[in-house]
A and B are shown apart, each in its own frame.
Chain A
Amino acid sequence: MLHRVSKHVARILIMALVGGLLGATLVRFAPGFDVDERELDIRLSDQSKAALRAELETQHSIPKFYAKYLGGLLTGDLGFSRTLNRPAVELIRERFPLTIREIGIGLAVGWIVGLTLAVPAASLKSWPVTLLTGAVTAALLSIPAAVLALMFVWLRWPASVAIGLLLTPKIFAYSRNLLVHGYELPHVLTARSKGAGEWHVFFWHVLPPAAPQLLALAGVTVSVAVGAAIPIEALCDQPGIGQLAWQAALARDLVLLVNLTLIVTLITVVANSFSDLLGESLKRRPA
């Protein structure tokens, strides 16, 4: 167990470091990287401009730039956002709780609605249920996240529910397929033929074999929810990490973009590793 956990921790660290390096590389090669808008300020003296250029010189080499960034990271210094004129760590600290809350509510809504549709679709196998659940999820799958966000703003509904509705079709499709497969297993057919109740069959015979895959899906949905939070927070004017990423993208705030890449990579890799570990432990448990 300890070996598996340490393997996952190592994987998380490597993924996060590589994610950050990719972000830094991207930023380094972005057009206009080595130009500081402040140089256009006519009030600055030649010495001040030279100091600004010298500051940028240190960032020309990617390894140096990334090493400096990682050094700062260890001391809690995530750099300074030029566009929002505040330290990045402050901006992220302020906005992180809101995004986590929204993603949490969104995941809960997505899983409740998704499973509520998937369970009858898999167990009843009647065409009206299949048609209804299929139509609802196909409609949700066809609407862009940004448009759903605009609809929620107009209806004055909470943004987190929009995140949940975006997750619903994915959760529905995967869990329905898993449950349909579960209902076809020989031991489930035997239990049903012996007259076991529907709920008993579901909780004791169908759900346990599907649990590891459902946990893996839970990890994936965290990543999808983080992605969905960006357009939804931006358009619903929610001051979270998603809105910050959008503002950073529009303003080309490269320091913020590198930090957000690192954070988003960490969240998704941690969620996936956690669900993998739980799934593995469930698989190994004797029946």
Chain B
Amino acid sequence: MKTARSISIALLVVVCAASLLANVFAPASYSAQFRDVPDSPPSKTHWLGTDALGRDRFSRVLYGTRVSLLLAPAAALISTLLAVVIGGVAGFLGGPWERIALWTTDMFLSLPWIFLLIAVRAVLPLNVSPEISIIITFSLLGILGWAPCARVLCTSSRELRDSDFVLQARASGLKTTRVLAMHIVPNLAPILLAQFWISIPVFILAEANLGVLGLGVAEPLPSWGSLLRELQGYGTFVDQPCQLAALVLLVIVVTCFQMVLPSKEFAS
């Protein structure tokens, strides 16, 4: 298991580094069109061939990986911070605050997440620039994905609130904000880190689903979701297996995240 974890971490590092250095490794821009060779098979010039618009698929996969791998953690950070504010603080304050927070969390959890995402994405503008569409997509993931994490944090901070050292701190006259900053948040750090890490593959998959449904990142900017839209030409991947490159990479990365996740350190 330890070997599998090490391999997963190494793979994640390689994929992240390759995508961050996309400017160096990519033979062309993600939007450059080679109109004389649309849908071309792999060649020396285009390692993974080209798509229907003649764009170099290898470059698009590299840039798409960068978008998905950089912004999924950003969305995870937003959701974790929101969970701290809503779940962590409410659990610490207790009473009506905790009840309201738990009720709101239950409300969010009772709605299927993908439905909520689609509904909210639909009421936001669809005809926006690619950069804005990235911000909208990943901000939505972050803003709507806080509920499961908030529930865990609420329970944990309630336990901390009732612990001896926090009672001691409060009895010594420490202000609530100081107790939160000095004693609660640092002790919640392992849980926060675990929740942050758990959210990343969830958000990667959610973006992929939105992208395939046409509600994700706008063209020509690539992301794993928008790259997977190529698979909608049902069965064309039989003639052009390179169309599966983004899917294979996504499955590898998400599996690697899962392999890294079940670490005992998080539990402690």
CB within 8 Å of B: which residues of A? Answer: 15, 18-19, 22-23, 26-27, 29-31, 138-139, 141-147, 150, 153-154, 223-224, 226-228, 230-231, 234-235, 245-246, 248-250, 252, 254, 257, 260-261, 264-265, 268-269, 272
Question: Smallest CB-CB separation from B123: which chain A residue?
Answer: A30
Q: Decide: A142 and B114 in contact? CB cutoff 8 A.
A: no
Q: How far is the CB of B134 from chain A (nearest CB, A)?
A: 18
Chain A contacts of B110 at CB under 8 A? 15, 19, 223, 265, 268-269, 272
| A143 to B235 CA separation, bound complex (whole angstroms) | 17
Interface string of B84-123 (1 = CB under 8 A from A): 0000000000000000000000110111111100111111
Q: Decide: B118 and A245 in contact? CB cutoff 8 A.
A: yes
| A155 to B82 CA separation, bound complex (whole angstroms) | 42
Q: Decide: B115 and A227 in contact? CB cutoff 8 A.
A: yes
Q: Decide: B115 and A235 in contact? CB cutoff 8 A.
A: no
| A23 to B123 CA separation, bound complex (whole angstroms) | 10
Q: How far is the CB of A138 from chain B (nearest CB, A)?
A: 6
The reply on B155 being an interface residue by CB < 8 A is no
Neighbour of B122 across the interface among A223, A257, A265, CB < 8 A: A257
Q: Decide: B107 and A19 in contact? CB cutoff 8 A.
A: yes
Chain B contacts of A19 at CB under 8 A? 107, 110-111
Question: Smallest CB-CB separation from B228: which chain A residue?
Answer: A147
Comparing B10-18, B36-44, B172-180, B207-215, the segment that makes contact with chain A is B207-215
Chain A contacts of B232 at CB under 8 A? 150, 235
The 10 A-B residue pairs with the shortest CB-CB distance in the complex, in nearest-first order:
A227-B112, A249-B122, A30-B123, A146-B212, A144-B208, A142-B254, A227-B114, A142-B251, A249-B118, A146-B209
Interchain Cβ contacts under 8 Å between A and B, 18 examples: A19-B107, A26-B120, A26-B123, A27-B123, A31-B123, A141-B254, A142-B201, A142-B250, A142-B251, A142-B255, A226-B115, A228-B114, A230-B114, A249-B119, A250-B122, A252-B122, A257-B122, A260-B119
Chain B contacts of A265 at CB under 8 A? 110-111
Chain A contacts of B214 at CB under 8 A? 250
CB within 8 Å of A: which residues of B? Answer: 106-107, 109-115, 118-126, 201, 205, 208-209, 211-215, 225, 228, 231-232, 234-235, 247, 250-251, 254-255, 258-259
Which of the listed residues B109, B115, B208 has the most CB atoms from chain A within 10 Å of its own CB? Answer: B115
Chain B contacts of A269 at CB under 8 A? 110
What DSSP secondary structure best describes chain B's contact surface? helix
Question: Smallest CB-CB separation from A257: which chain B residue?
Answer: B119
Q: Decide: B125 and A144 in contact? CB cutoff 8 A.
A: no
Q: How far is the CB of A145 from chain B (nearest CB, A)?
A: 6
Q: Give the A-B contact count at a CB cut-off of 8 A.
A: 125
Q: Decide: A146 and B107 in contact? CB cutoff 8 A.
A: no
Chain A contacts of B119 at CB under 8 A? 23, 26, 245, 249, 257, 260-261
Q: How far is the CB of A97 from chain B (nearest CB, A)?
A: 19
Decide yes or no: A252 and B123 within 8 Å by CB, A147-B231, A154-B234 being known contacts.
yes
| A144 to B124 CA separation, bound complex (whole angstroms) | 23
Q: How far is the CB of A120 from chain B (nearest CB, A)?
A: 20
Q: How far is the CB of A265 from chain B (nearest CB, A)?
A: 6
Q: How far is the CB of B97 from chain A (nearest CB, A)?
A: 18
Question: Smallest CB-CB separation from A222: which chain B residue?
Answer: B112
Neighbour of B115 across the interface among A18, A147, A245, A250, CB < 8 A: A245
Q: How far is the CB of B30 from chain A (nearest CB, A)?
A: 21
| A246 to B212 CA separation, bound complex (whole angstroms) | 12
Chain B contacts of A31 at CB under 8 A? 123-125
Q: How far is the CB of A276 from chain B (nearest CB, A)?
A: 11
Q: Decide: B112 and A224 in contact? CB cutoff 8 A.
A: yes
| A254 to B205 CA separation, bound complex (whole angstroms) | 26
Q: How far is the CB of A93 from chain B (nearest CB, A)?
A: 19
Q: Decide: A231 and B114 in contact? CB cutoff 8 A.
A: yes
Q: Decide: B255 and A138 in contact? CB cutoff 8 A.
A: yes
Q: Decide: B234 and A268 in contact? CB cutoff 8 A.
A: no
| A248 to B213 CA separation, bound complex (whole angstroms) | 12
Q: Decide: A257 and B123 in contact? CB cutoff 8 A.
A: yes
Which of the listed residues B113, B208, B215, B225 has the most CB atoms from chain A within 10 Å of its own CB? Answer: B208
Chain B contacts of A145 at CB under 8 A? 114, 205, 209
Q: Decide: B215 and A250 in contact? CB cutoff 8 A.
A: yes
Decide yes or no: A150 and B231 within 8 Å by CB, A19-B111, A26-B120, A228-B114 being known contacts.
yes
| A127 to B98 CA separation, bound complex (whole angstroms) | 43
Q: Decide: B115 and A230 in contact? CB cutoff 8 A.
A: yes
| A250 to B127 CA separation, bound complex (whole angstroms) | 11
Q: Decide: B123 and A235 in contact? CB cutoff 8 A.
A: no
Which of the listed residues B122, B225, B235, B254 has the most CB atoms from chain A within 10 Å of its own CB? Answer: B122
